[in-house]
Amino acid sequence: MSVQVSRKAPGFSATAVMPDNSFKKDFKLEDYQGKYVVLFFWPFDFTFVCPTEILEFNHQLKEFEARKVQVIGCSTDSHHSHLAWKNMEVKVGGIGNVQYPLVADFDKSIARDYGVLLEEEGQALRGSFLIDKKGILQHAVINNLPLGRNINDMLRMVDALQFTEEHGEVCPANWEKGKDAMKENQDGLKQFFGKHAADY
């Protein structure tokens, strides 16, 4: 299976560590149909860049929830490893009690389906995927192992998707909530550049 923006996001069922630290053995992406989902992958538990990203998603969780987005993290570690990492204090490299599900992709099938698995190493690249309420993949970005992702930019992409859905307009480069968008035709383009040509 190959993943592609504008197509259905690959479904999965796996064990996840839930916010209350319980194990949910039949955690399914399909259970979030009707809700926006941000699914992100990190390489391994107990590593270095990864906790900064996981904690930043948790720090911004209220912003995602205000936009009706479910954040889901995933790596190829076991659910036992995820829980052990949650039980480790942040000041010594743990992630603490993060409040979104952490999926155990122990057989590596989810990372493989999303095109982020490094087969020989058995770990995932830093993939981030925005899935809409119909289960369609709307945005994907994949970073190599040393390159931490920008969580604020994922929030910006959620805003852009929701603006487009609500208003039927398209969002230009560097668009942020509150800025002008444009109608998806030549008149809309001319109108937009009539106001903003000097910005480009």
As annotated, the active-site residues are 50
Mapped onto helix, strand or coil, the DSSP state of residue 177 is coil
Q: What angle (nearest 5°) sits at the alpha carbon of residue 106, between those of residues 101 and 112?
A: 95
| Whole-angstrom distance, CA of residue 11 vs CA of residue 195 | 43
Both tokens of 154, joined, read 């994922």
Q: Which residue stretches of the chain are H helix? A: 49-59, 61-66, 79-86, 109-113, 151-167, 186-196
Both tokens of 109, joined, read 């099938």
According to DSSP, the residues that pair with 103 across neighbouring strands are 16, 74
**Dihedral of CA 43/16/68/129: which sign?**
positive
